[in-house]
């Protein structure tokens, strides 16, 4: 498939996703940029539904950045245990809290370069925070749904998230980047789950036949 063929395919997919999912929004619950950063770190290898269950209590218990700076690591591990990989996530979140307080004046940074200096933050997390907390769209967040579905429908042959993001941003208009992530995630949940099923009957597969 040529680059131009992939571009046309990508635009057909964007149009169909808009038809299937007119209203798109991030699935994670948050009220502040700091809460979104925490939720996105917790979402690694965990469903958004489970993260929202955990953060419902977590955000009531830890209300300010200083609450995280002063948090007891063992207690925090118990608080987020249900999200999996709780020891690494605890290290990342509590260290990030210290860095945000000391280096960034208590405010979550608003640039990709600065966000990538935080423990546990790669481009996916940074894209999610920038786009949904600040309205700054620098790329496309490549989570498991975006990775799986963009490969399935011929938008990329890559497996590395950074390379997948590069391919997608070359195909999809910049104005669509943020909603493309949201809609593809929702599409994966509603129409084309990762579990075995007949892909030929999924809406995008039927569109692209």
The DSSP string of the chain is --HHHHHHHHHHHHHHHHHH-SS---SS--SSHHHHHHHHHHTTTS-HHHHHHHHHHHHHH--SHHHHHT--HHHHHHHHGGGS-HHHHHHHHHHHHHHHHHHSTTS---SHHHHTTSTT--HHHHHHHIIIII----S----HHHHHHHHHTTS----SHHHHHHHHHHHS-GGGHHHHHHHHHHHHHHT--SSS--GGGSHHHHHH-
Q: Which fold has domain 33-134?
A: Endonuclease III; domain 1 (1.10.340)
- Tell the residue number behind the tokens 């579905």, with chain if given: 149
**CA dihedral of residues 41, 43, 49, 51 (deg, nearest 10):** -40
Does 1.10.1670.10 match the CATH number of domain 3-23+139-208? yes
25-35 mean pLDDT: 95
Average pLDDT of every residue of the chain: 95
Angle of the 3-20 helix axis to the 161-171 helix axis, nearest 10 = 90
209 pLDDT exceeds 80? no
CA angle, corner 15, sides to 204 and 187, nearest 5?
45
CA dihedral 163, 169, 172, 175 (to 10 degrees): 150
187/17 Cα distance (integer angstroms):
7
199 band by pLDDT with thresholds 50, 70 and 90: confident
Q: Can 3-23+139-208 and 33-134 be said to share one CATH topology? A: no
Question: By percentage, how much of the chain surpasses pLDDT 90?
Answer: 88
pLDDT in tens, 43-71: 999 999 999 999 999 999 999 999 999 99
* Closest residue by Cα to residue 160 from 114, 119, 124: 124
| pLDDT at position 200 | 84
Mean pLDDT to the nearest integer, 3-14: 92
Q: How far apart are CA 176 and CA 188, in angstroms?
A: 18
The pLDDT confidence band at residue 194, using thresholds 50, 70 and 90, is confident
pLDDT value at position 54?
A: 98
Half-sphere exposure of 110 (CA within 13 A, CB side): 7
For the chain, give every domain's residue range: 3-23+139-208, 33-134
Q: What is the mean pLDDT of residues 34-42?
A: 98
- List all residues 6 or more positions away from 75 whose beta carbon is below 8 Å from its beta carbon: none
Mean local confidence (pLDDT), 173-183: 95
pLDDT at 3 over 90: no
Question: pTM, whole model, 2 decimals?
Answer: 0.92
Q: What is the pLDDT of residues 69-96, one digit of tens each?
A: 999 999 999 999 999 999 999 999 999 9
Rounded Cα–Cα distance for residues 152 and 94 (Å): 37
pLDDT of residue 206: 83
Query: Which range has highest mean pLDDT (6-10, 110-114, 186-190)?
Result: 110-114
pLDDT at 147 over 90: yes
């Amino acid at each position: 498939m040529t680059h131009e063929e992939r571009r046309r395919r990508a635009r057909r997919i964007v149009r169909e996703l808009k038809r299937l999912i007119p209203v798109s929004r991030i699935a994670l619950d948050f009220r502040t940029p700091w809460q979104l950063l925490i939720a996105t770190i917790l979402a690694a290898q965990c469903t958004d539904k489970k993260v929202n269950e955990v953060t419902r209590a977590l955000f009531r218990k830890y209300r300010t950045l200083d609450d995280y700076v002063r948090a007891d690591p063992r207690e925090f591990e118990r608080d987020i245990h249900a999200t999996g990989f709780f020891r690494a996530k605890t290290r990342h979140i509590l260290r990030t809290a210290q860095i945000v307080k000391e280096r960034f004046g208590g405010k979550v940074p608003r640039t990709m370069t600065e966000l990538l200096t935080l423990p546990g933050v790669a481009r996916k997390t940074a894209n999610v925070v920038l786009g949904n907390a600040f309205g700054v769209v620098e790329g496309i967040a490549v989570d498991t749904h975006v990775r799986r579905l963009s490969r399935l429908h011929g938008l990329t042959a890559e497996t590395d998230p950074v390379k997948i993001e590069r391919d997608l941003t070359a195909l999809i208009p910049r104005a669509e980047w943020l909603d493309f992530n949201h809609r593809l995630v929702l599409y994966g949940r509603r129409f084309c789950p990762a579990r075995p099923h007949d892909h030929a009957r999924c809406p995008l597969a039927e569109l692209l036949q």
